[in-house]
């Protein structure tokens, strides 16, 4: 296996040795993110054909689209229950098997009921992978590039969404093309499952399971050096102060603030409206008067590309600027664009072409989300919890995230009906302003510290 060491120059001026192997390990785990993105994005195109095949009315269409979120809620809870017992690596392999099963079931379904069951199963895979992949990456990463490596997962996610749009586009003219759209997920699922079989267990999980000898072997391999004593000792020490790992530990006073931060960010990541854009971009473009399907597809693809590009920008910045500044800039950009969007719908006479204005504003909004709130939420919840309850606490935040996602997805069109188009976006803008205040007041800075140093600092409230 490749064990090359490259010297990474860090903005603090120090040089850290980073092994090539840890990048490979993270990239394989990030395929979980790719499947998360692909399987949430692919339905937008597939549903157009599924509705004709099975003669679906609008309620049944909505159900077919949103059951995946229900599955994700279940998967996120399941991941928390099983995560500690079986370990991060096995959980990722389990998610790959579930993705595979779901893809086959939906691609070969003889009827709507099995299609819906298949989508729920896919959702369970998404729910597990959505937080276990970032957790695994965070636990293998060296502190100097942990942010960038966890961003890799979100980068794969955004690429997955884009890939889904592309596959949907390519198969539109193929008879039964929707089966291909859903079924092609077997390829990344196989790569993820087989790839993870060759990857090591998380050294931190091994220590938690009293398998210190194996943890040393793994850490030596992923750090590319035998000088791992200090890191091992730090993990052991941290675990010794943390104690047991039961669900009731989540209610201890020391965990109150980290849980509020995780659940709060989870909800804010969704109620600030990202998935109204990711799932409903063509509808929003139609609101602005764009009637041409070609322009709508182009606009949606443009939004997908921006999402990828700005995730890369964020990945470059996160270990340099830090998590807090990135989040605050991201949320401010989102608040401004949502305000502009509301204004554009309220006073369409201000823009010579409302359609163009809306496309540009949506791009600004997605760019702002991509450099911060999108990936930083997943990163922070992989950093702020003690090892003994990390899996359970991340699962709780992830359940909150998928729950909020489901609520936004099923209420968006009704909110537009009740509050009107400007009113809906004013509401999301107000929620974004609230999340700026929340972040400013509560969210800690975690860059360039080991996970154990973060725990130590959180215990002593020294995290700004
Ligand atoms: C969010 C998803 C969203 C995606 C868009 C993720 O961080 O959790 O809900 O669809 O970003 O890129």
* Mean of pLDDT values over 64-76: 96
Please indicate whether residue 330, judged by its CB atom, sits closer than 6 Å to ligand 1: no
CA distance 149 to 23: 7
Mean pLDDT of the chain: 92
Summarize the chain as % helix, strand, coil (round to 5).
80, 0, 15
Query: Residue 463 — very low, low, confident or very high, per pLDDT cuts 50/70/90?
Result: low
Residues 6 or more apart in contact with residue 168 via CB below 8 angstroms: 42, 44, 45, 46, 181
Which is the closest atom of ligand 1 to the Cα of 40? 10
Which is the closest atom of ligand 1 to the Cα of 278? 10
Half-sphere exposure of 246 (CA within 13 A, CB side): 2
Which is the closest atom of ligand 1 to the Cα of 157? 12
Q: Is the dihedral of CA 246, 377, 311, 302 positive or negative?
A: positive
In Å, what is the CA distance from 51 to each residue of 59, 112, 180, 212, 382?
11, 10, 16, 54, 39
Q: CA gyration radius for the chain?
A: 22
pLDDT per residue as tens digits for the range 306-356: 999 999 999 999 999 999 999 999 999 999 999 999 999 998 887 778 888
pLDDT recorded at residue 350: 78
Please indicate whether residue 277, judged by its CB atom, sits closer than 6 Å to ligand 1: no
User: Residue 56 Cα, ligand 1 centroid: separation in angstroms?
Assistant: 27
Residues 6 or more apart in contact with residue 198 via CB below 8 angstroms: none
The domains of the chain, with CATH numbers, are 17-199+243-459 (1.20.1250.20)
Ordered DSSP codes for 7-71? EEEPTTS-EEEEEHHHHHHHHHHTHHHHHHHHHHHTHHHHHHHHHHHTT--HHHHHHHHHHHHHH
Please indicate whether residue 304, judged by its CB atom, sits closer than 6 Å to ligand 1: no
pLDDT per residue as tens digits for the range 9-32: 444 434 457 889 999 999 999 999
pLDDT per residue as tens digits for the range 81-111: 998 899 999 999 999 999 999 999 999 999 9
* Residue position matching structure tokens 């990048």: 23
* Residue position matching structure tokens 């063509």: 282
Its pTM stands at 0.93
Please indicate whether residue 44, judged by its CB atom, sits closer than 6 Å to ligand 1: no
* Mean of pLDDT values over 144-173: 95
- Which of 41, 69, 129, 157 to probe ligand 1 with, by most ligand atoms within 8 A of CB? 157
pLDDT per residue as tens digits for the range 169-228: 899 889 999 999 999 999 999 999 999 999 999 999 999 999 999 999 999 999 999 889
- CA-proximal residue: ligand 1, atom 4 (nearest): 374
- What is the longest distance spanned by two Cα atoms in the chain? 69
Task: Give the percent of the chain with pLDDT over 70.
Answer: 96
Which of 163, 175, 166 is CA-nearest to residue 49? Answer: 175
Joined together, the tokens standing for residue 178 give 């929707």
Which of 378, 374, 402, 401 is CA-nearest to residue 306? Answer: 374
User: Residue 122 Cα, ligand 1 centroid: separation in angstroms?
Assistant: 16
Please indicate whether residue 288, judged by its CB atom, sits closer than 6 Å to ligand 1: no
Which of 194, 214, 190, 191 is CA-nearest to residue 202? Answer: 214
Which is the closest atom of ligand 1 to the Cα of 275? 10
pLDDT recorded at residue 188: 98
pLDDT recorded at residue 462: 64
Please indicate whether residue 122, judged by its CB atom, sits closer than 6 Å to ligand 1: no
Residues 398, 130: contact at Cβ < 8 Å? yes
* Mean of pLDDT values over 411-433: 95
Residues 138, 379: contact at Cβ < 8 Å? yes
pLDDT recorded at residue 283: 80
pLDDT recorded at residue 9: 40
């Amino acid at each position: 296996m490749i064990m090359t060491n490259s010297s990474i120059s860090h903005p603090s001026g120090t040089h850290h040795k980073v092994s090539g192997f840890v990048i490979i390990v993270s990239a394989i785990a990030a395929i979980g993110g790719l499947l998360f993105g692909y399987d949430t994005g692919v339905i937008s195109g597939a549903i157009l054909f599924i509705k004709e095949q099975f003669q679906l009315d609008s309620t049944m269409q909505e159900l077919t689209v949103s059951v995946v979120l229900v599955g994700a809620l279940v998967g996120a809870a399941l991941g928390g229950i099983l995560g500690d017992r079986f370990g991060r690596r096995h959980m990722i392999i389990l998610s790959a098997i579930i993705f595979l099963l779901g893809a086959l079931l939906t691609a070969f379904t003889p009827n709507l009921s099995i299609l819906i069951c298949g989508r729920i199963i896919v959702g369970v895979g998404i729910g597990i992978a959505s937080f276990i992949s970032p957790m695994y990456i965070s636990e293998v990463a060296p502190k100097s590039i942990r942010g960038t490596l966890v961003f890799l997962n979100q980068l794969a996610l955004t690429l997955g969404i884009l890939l889904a749009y592309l596959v949907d586009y390519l198969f539109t003219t193929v008879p039964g093309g929707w089966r291909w759209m859903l079924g092609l997920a077997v390829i990344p699922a196989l790569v993820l499952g087989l790839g993870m079989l060759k990857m090591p267990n998380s050294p931190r999980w091994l220590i938690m399971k009293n398998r210190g000898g194996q943890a040393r072997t793994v850490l030596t391999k992923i750090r590319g050096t035998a000088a791992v004593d200090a890191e091992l000792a730090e993990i052991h020490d941290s675990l010794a102060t943390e104690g047991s790992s039961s669900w009731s530990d989540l209610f201890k006073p020391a965990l109150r603030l980290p849980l509020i931060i995780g659940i709060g960010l989870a909800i804010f990541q969704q109620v600030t409206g990202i998935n109204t854009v990711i799932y409903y971009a063509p509808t929003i473009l139609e609101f602005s008067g764009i009637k041409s399907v070609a322009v709508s597809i182009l606009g949606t693809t443009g939004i997908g590309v921006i999402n990828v590009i700005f995730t890369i920008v964020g990945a470059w910045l996160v270990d340099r600027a830090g998590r807090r500044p990135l989040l605050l800039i991201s949320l401010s950009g989102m608040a401004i664009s949502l305000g502009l969007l509301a204004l554009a719908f309220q006073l369409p006479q201000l823009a010579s072409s409302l359609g163009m204005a809306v496309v540009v504003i949506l791009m600004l909004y997605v760019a702002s989300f991509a450099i911060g709130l999108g990936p930083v939420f997943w990163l922070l919840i992989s950093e702020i919890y003690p090892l003994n309850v990390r899996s359970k606490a991340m699962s709780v935040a992830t359940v909150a995230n998928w729950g909020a996602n489901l609520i936004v997805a099923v209420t968006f069109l009704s909110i537009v009906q009740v509050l009107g188009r400007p009113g809906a976006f004013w509401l999301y803008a107000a929620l974004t302003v609230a999340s700026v205040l929340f972040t400013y007041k509560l969210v800690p800075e975690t860059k360039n510290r080991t996970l154990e140093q973060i725990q130590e600092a959180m215990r002593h409230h020294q995290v700004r």
